Structure 1
Amino acid sequence: MNPPLIERTPSAYAYPLLIKQLLHTPLATAPDQEIVYRGQVRHTYRDLATRIGRLANALAGQGIAPGSTVAMMDWDSHRYLECFFAVPMMGAVLQTVNIRLSPEQILYTLNHARADVVIVNAEFLPVFEAIRSQLETVKTALFISDDGQPVPPGFAGEYEALLAAAAPDYDFPDFDENARATTFYTTGTTGLPKGVYFSHRQLVLHTLAVGLGLAAAPRQGSLHRDDVYMPLTPMFHVHAWGLPYIATLLGVKQVYPGRYVPATILQLVEQEQVTFSHCVPTILHMLLLAPEGKAIDLSRWKLIIGGSAMTAGLARQARERGIDVFTGYGMSETCPILTLAQIDDADLGEADLPLRTKTGRPVPLVNLMTADGELNPTPRDGKSVGEVVARTPWLTQGYLHNPASSETLWAGGWLHTQDIGHIDARGYLQVTDRIKDVIKTGGEWISSLELEDLIARHPAVGEVAVIGVPDEKWGERPLALVVLRAGQSLDADALRTHLKGYADQGVISRYGVPERIVFVSELAKTSVGKLNKRALREQYAAG
C-alpha cells in the first residue's frame, strides 16, 4: 500500500521548484546590489530582473517557445547570467556551448542538442561562420559585441539593441518542475562529447543544498551575504559549478570577468574587493605566477579548487598568499558539487593543508559511498578503496539521445563517477585516482594523483602529471612530466631522491618512484583546464 498523499486545498499554490523562484529573495532584500562586468558595466538586481524580462520578449520575438533550445557562445558575463534565468524561465532549454572545443565538436554539439537560436559573441564569429552552413536546426543567430562592432550579415540583431527594443515585462509561466532547463556537453578525452541535462527541480535543489553547505561553515570556506563573488570556472561548464545561481539567491555582489586574463582577474579582485571564487588548479597556478598579482592583497579571497586534484604544493603557495583555498568535488554529470573540503574550527591552523586538499565531505542531500565491483560499500576506515558512486536529487538522469551510455552511467541505480577513493570515519572522501589513470605495475597499483602530490611538494616544481606508459617487464611504469617554477632548476636524480624519502617513510612503495622523469615547458590540458592524460599517454607511450 502506498503512503497517503497530502490533501490539496483547491486554491492552494503548489509552488513548483522553478528557476524563477530563486529571484524572489534577492529582489526583496538586495534590489540595489551590483552585478559588474569587467569593471565597465554595472547593473543592479532590479536591472537584472528587467533585463531578464526584456531578453525573454526578445527571444519570443525570434520564435523561442517552450521546448525550444537557445545556445549561448559568450565569455563569463552579465549576459550569460541573464540567459541562465530568462531562457529556462520561458520553458525553453539553455545550451551552454563550450567555446574551447574544436569547431567540429562545437558543430556536433549544436546539431546534437538541436539548437534553434545561437547567441554569438563577436570573438567567436569566425568559428560560427565556419560551421554555419552545416548547422541542421538553427534558425536564427543573435550577435554580441562589447565594442560596437556592426551586426554582420545573416544575424537577426544585436543583443543590447534587441533588449532595448523589447518590453520589460514577461509573464513567466508555471510548469512542471521536472522540465529540462539546461544542456551542455562533457569534455571527456575519449569519443564525441556527451550531452548532460538538468531540470529546474535539480538546479533549484543543487542551489539550496550547496548554498546551505557553504553557509553552514562557521568560518573557513563560508559564503555569505557580505561576500563578493566572481566565477573563474567558465559559465559554459556545469553552470560555473552552479555558483551564479547560489550567489543570485543570496543577493551578493557579482563580478564577471569576461575572457580569463590574469592581469584583468587580479585587477578585478582588488578593485571590486572579490572574496569568493572557484577555479581549476591551472588557473590558480597561473594567477599565483602572474607578476601583476605580487603586490595585491589576496588574504580575503576564498577559493574552491576543483576539476583536478589540488596538490599540497599548490595549496601551500596559495596559503602563503593568505588565500583560503579548499577542494570541491564533482563532475559534469553531478551538476556538479558533491563534496567540499571545509574545515571545522578545531582543525584550523598551520597543519590544516591535508584537510584542505582532501576531496571533501558530502554537502547536504548527497548520498555518497565507495563501493566494490558488486556495489557493496567499502568500510569507512580511510584506507579501503572502492569506486565513488552517488545518489542526489540533482544528478543527470542520463546522456542526451544516448541510452546505452546512460545505462552504463547508472548501472545498479547509482551514478558511477569512475573515480576510486576511500572515506574516513569523519566522512572525508579522498579520491586516489581515476579508474583509467591507475598505474598497474608488476601486480601493484600506483596512484598517479598521489605521486603528483608528492612530486609537487618539491619547492622547484610548478606543475606535474604522472602517467602510466607500457613496460615489457612490469606491464606499466610511471612516467613523471614536470614543469619547473620560473627561475628554478632541478634534475631527475634530485627529484627521485625527494621521492625516495617518502618511500623510506612508507608513504609510497619503492615501485612508485619513477625511473623516467621528463622536464617539459607545458602540459596538455582539456578545454576546461584539466590535465589531458589521454593526450599525454598517446604522446609518450612510444617512449
Structure 2
Amino acid sequence: MPENLIASTPSAYSYPLLVRQLLTNSLSLYGDQEITYRGEVRYAYRDFRRRVGQLASALDALGVRHGATVAVMDWDSHRYLESYFAIPMMGATLFTVNVRLAPSQIVYTLNDSQAETVLVHIDFLPMLDAVKNELTCVREVIVIADGQTVPTTGWMIAGEYEELVGRASPDYAFTDFDESTTAATFYTTGTTGDPKGVYYSHRQIVLHTMASAMALCSPRAGQRIHREDVYMPITPMFHVLAWGMPFVALTLGLKIVLPGRYVPGDLLELKLSEGVTFSHCVPTILQMLLNAADASGHDLSDWTMIIGGAKLPPALCRAATSKGMDVFAGYGMSETGPIVALAQIPPGVTPADADDDVRWRAHTGRPVPFVDFRVVDSEMHDVPRDNETQGEIVLRAPYLTQGYTRRPDASEELWAGGYLHTQDVAVVAPDGSVQIVDRIKDVIKTGGEWVSSIGLESLICELPGVQEAAVIGVKDEKWGERPMAFIVLGSEEKVDANEVRRHLLAHVDSDALSKYAVPEADRIVFVDVIPKTSVGKFDKKMLRAQHD
C-alpha cells in the first residue's frame, strides 16, 4: 500500500523547529523592545540578537563545537538569557547548573553532563575552584565579573564574559541542523541518590513554548499573558529553564526584566520601577514577597503570577488575591518541560464567592494543548471523573523528556507502558479539572485509611497565623503510621498545638477530614523554618530522617 506522504519540490525549505526560530517574529516586529538587568543594564531586542551572535563567536573561538556541552552558573541575568539562545543555536547543549546544590552534587552533574566550558558568575568561582581537581571534563572557565575584579591568574580561566563577548563578531553563521538535536539539559533534585539528568531537543522546546503561549494567551481576562505585559522571572533560570517562560516572553515580544539575585525588597522595587505585570515563582517566594510588601507598603496589584514547584496553599492564594494579585497554580515537573496544566478558571464558570475563586486558582488545573493527561489506576485504566477516585497522573506530550542521561533502568521506569509516570496521586472532576492529593511516596496510611499530606497541610494553613505547614507520616506501633505536622508561624503570631487540633477536628465533625488524619498534640511541632530542597519544595526526606 503506498504511503500518503507529502511530496516536496527540490527547492522547498523544510522549516526545522529550532530555538533560533523563536526569535524570527519578535526581532522583525519588536526590535525596539527592551531587556533590562536589575534596571542597570538596558538594551533592545536587536542588541540582544547582536550579543547572541557575539557570544556564539566567542565560544566558537574557544573551540566549542556542535554537540559540545556548555554549563552556566549565574544569577538571573541578561547573560543567562543570551546563553539560552546562543548555545543551542550553535548546535551545542546548554547545561543550566543548579547552583543551590551541594558542591559534591555540582561536581557530579558537571562530570555526568560532560561539560567542557563553564560560564560562571564570580560569586560561584570560589566553590568551583575548590572542587577543580574532581572535575573530569571541564577545560575552561569564562568568568562573569558583574562589576567585580576578576583574578588575573587562575585555573583554566579563559577570560571575562563581557570582554570576550565585546570583542567577538556578531555575525556568527547560525545554520540549520536536525530539530531533534539536544538543546538543553539540567538535573532533577530528587530526594534519593544522585541527581538525574533530563534533556530537551530544539523541537521539544519550541513545542513547549507554543503550548504554553496558547494556554496563557487564550483566556479573555485573568490568568493570562499578553503582549503589553512586562515579564520578570522569579523562578531561577537554572530550574527547568525558568519553566520555559523566557522563551514565551521573547517569542511574544515582551519587555523582560532580569532581577539578578532574589532579594524580596529589590524584586518589589523592580516591580514598581519597571512596571512588572507577569511573573512566576514557588510558594515560598510568594510568601516572602507578601511579607516584604506588608513591611514596605508596596502595591502588589496588577501582578499576574503563576505559582508552581509545590502546591499553592489556599490561604496563601487568598492572601495574595486580597492584595490585588492575579495568582494561579501551574503543574509540571522537571521531566515534563515543565508546564502540562494550568489552574485557569474555565470558560463559562463564574466563581460563586471568594472561597470558590481561591479553590479554582489553587487547584492543579486543566491540561494545556498537546498534552494527553490521564489519571489511572494500577492497571492503567482511567479513573472515573467523580472527583473522588484516586489514581496516578500519567502523561504523553511532544515535549516530555525521553529519559534520563545514562540511566536506562530509571528511564524505562519513568516511561513504563508508554506513558510518563509522575508519581502524583490525583482525582478528576467531571469537567476534566485535576486536583493532586499527594505524592505516592508521601501518602500516609493510618488506621486503615489513606491520608493526604497535601490536603492536611492546606487545612492547617487555613488557621490564622500559620505561614507554612509540612506533614509527614511517622511510624506508629498501633496504626502503622501517624501524621506529624511541622508548622511555621508569622513573626507576631501565637498558635498552640491544641488550637491546631481543634481546627482540624472541626473538619472531622463536618466529614471533610478523617479522624485518623488529625495529629496528636505531641506530633504538632512549631519550627522557625521547614527544610526545603534547592528548588523550594519541602524536603520531606530530611524530615522523615530526623523523626522516623
Aligned-partner Cα distance in 1 for 2:406–2:2: 33
> Is residue 202 of structure 2 the alignment partner of residue 200 of structure 1?
yes
- The one-letter code sitting in structure 1 at the alignment partner of 2:540 is K
Structure 2 stretches lacking a partner, 5+ long: none
- Contact 1:72 1:96 (C-alpha < 8 Å) held by counterparts: yes
Alignment correspondent of 2:537: 530
- The one-letter code sitting in structure 2 at the alignment partner of 1:423 is V
Deviations along 1:305-353, one digit per CA (max 9) or x if unpaired, are 1111111111111111111110000000001000000114642452311
Alignment correspondent of 2:82: 82
Structure-to-structure mapping, 1:437-452, within 5 angstroms: 437-452=442-457
Structure 1 runs of 4+ aligned residues shifted over 3 Å read 291-294
Alignment correspondent of 1:488: 493
Aligned-partner Cα distance in 2 for 1:106–1:468: 31
Aligned-partner Cα distance in 2 for 1:3–1:83: 42
- The one-letter code sitting in structure 1 at the alignment partner of 2:461 is A
Aligned-partner Cα distance in 1 for 2:4–2:146: 56
Deviations along 1:491-530, one digit per CA (max 9) or x if unpaired, are 1111100111111111111111111211111000000111
SS at match of 2:159: coil
- Contact 1:266 1:292 (C-alpha < 8 Å) held by counterparts: no
- Contact 2:143 2:150 (C-alpha < 8 Å) held by counterparts: no
Alignment correspondent of 2:187: 185
> Is residue 277 of structure 2 the alignment partner of residue 275 of structure 1?
yes
- The one-letter code sitting in structure 2 at the alignment partner of 1:471 is D
Structure-to-structure mapping, 1:351-370, within 5 angstroms: 351-370=356-375
Alignment correspondent of 1:232: 234
Aligned-partner Cα distance in 1 for 2:538–2:130: 28
**Alignment counterpart, residue 461 of structure 2, candidates 456, 465, 484:** 456
- Contact 1:280 1:305 (C-alpha < 8 Å) held by counterparts: yes
- Contact 1:67 1:92 (C-alpha < 8 Å) held by counterparts: yes
Alignment correspondent of 2:350: 347
- Note closer, same or farther for the CA distance 1:165–1:361 as it changes in structure 2 (3 Å cut): same
SS at match of 1:352: helix
- Contact 1:263 1:293 (C-alpha < 8 Å) held by counterparts: no
- Contact 1:266 1:293 (C-alpha < 8 Å) held by counterparts: no
- The one-letter code sitting in structure 1 at the alignment partner of 2:208 is H
Aligned-partner Cα distance in 2 for 1:222–1:319: 15
- The one-letter code sitting in structure 2 at the alignment partner of 1:507 is A
Structure 1 stretches lacking a partner, 5+ long: none
User: Greater shift after overlay, 435-444 or 144-153?
Assistant: 144-153
- Contact 1:183 1:195 (C-alpha < 8 Å) held by counterparts: yes
Structure-to-structure mapping, 1:502-541, within 5 angstroms: 502-515=507-520, 516-541=523-548
SS at match of 2:493: coil
Give the C-alpha shift of residue 189 in structure 1: 1.2
- The one-letter code sitting in structure 2 at the alignment partner of 1:9 is T
- Note closer, same or farther for the CA distance 1:210–1:3 as it changes in structure 2 (3 Å cut): farther
Structure-to-structure mapping, 1:170-319, within 5 angstroms: 170-290=172-292, 294-319=296-321
Structure-to-structure mapping, 1:105-116, within 5 angstroms: 105-116=105-116
Aligned-partner Cα distance in 2 for 1:474–1:2: 65
SS at match of 1:20: helix
Alignment correspondent of 1:388: 393
Aligned-partner Cα distance in 2 for 1:294–1:270: 12
TM-score normalised by L of structure 2: 0.97
**Alignment counterpart, residue 468 of structure 1, candidates 465, 473, 482:** 473
Give the alignment's Cα RMSD to 1 decimal: 1.1
Aligned-partner Cα distance in 1 for 2:190–2:325: 30
- The one-letter code sitting in structure 2 at the alignment partner of 1:271 is S
- The one-letter code sitting in structure 2 at the alignment partner of 1:331 is M
> Is residue 138 of structure 2 the alignment partner of residue 138 of structure 1?
yes
- Contact 2:185 2:199 (C-alpha < 8 Å) held by counterparts: yes
- Contact 1:229 1:275 (C-alpha < 8 Å) held by counterparts: yes
User: Greater shift after overlay, 338-347 or 269-278?
Assistant: 338-347
Aligned-partner Cα distance in 1 for 2:447–2:430: 32
Q: How many residues align?
A: 541
Deviations along 1:29-80, one digit per CA (max 9) or x if unpaired, are 1111111101111111001100000000000001001000000000111101
Deviations along 1:460-507, one digit per CA (max 9) or x if unpaired, are 100000100000100000001100112110111111001111111111
SS at match of 1:157: strand
Give the C-alpha shift of residue 373 in structure 1: 1.0
Deviations along 1:377-425, one digit per CA (max 9) or x if unpaired, are 1112211110000000000000001101000000000000000001112
Aligned-partner Cα distance in 1 for 2:221–2:506: 36
Alignment correspondent of 1:327: 329
- The one-letter code sitting in structure 2 at the alignment partner of 1:206 is H
- Contact 1:287 1:293 (C-alpha < 8 Å) held by counterparts: no
Aligned-partner Cα distance in 2 for 1:495–1:362: 35
Aligned-partner Cα distance in 1 for 2:48–2:37: 13
Aligned-partner Cα distance in 2 for 1:384–1:129: 53
- Contact 2:122 2:148 (C-alpha < 8 Å) held by counterparts: no
- Contact 1:151 1:157 (C-alpha < 8 Å) held by counterparts: no
Give the C-alpha shift of residue 148 in structure 1: 3.6
Alignment correspondent of 2:124: 124
- The one-letter code sitting in structure 1 at the alignment partner of 2:501 is R
- Note closer, same or farther for the CA distance 1:64–1:293 as it changes in structure 2 (3 Å cut): farther
Deviations along 1:126-155, one digit per CA (max 9) or x if unpaired, are 110011121111111100011141244231
SS at match of 1:182: strand
**Alignment counterpart, residue 497 of structure 1, candidates 475, 478, 502:** 502
- Contact 1:311 1:357 (C-alpha < 8 Å) held by counterparts: yes
Aligned-partner Cα distance in 2 for 1:234–1:79: 14
TM-score normalised by L of structure 1: 0.98
Q: Percent identity?
A: 55
- The one-letter code sitting in structure 2 at the alignment partner of 1:347 is T
- Contact 2:308 2:329 (C-alpha < 8 Å) held by counterparts: yes
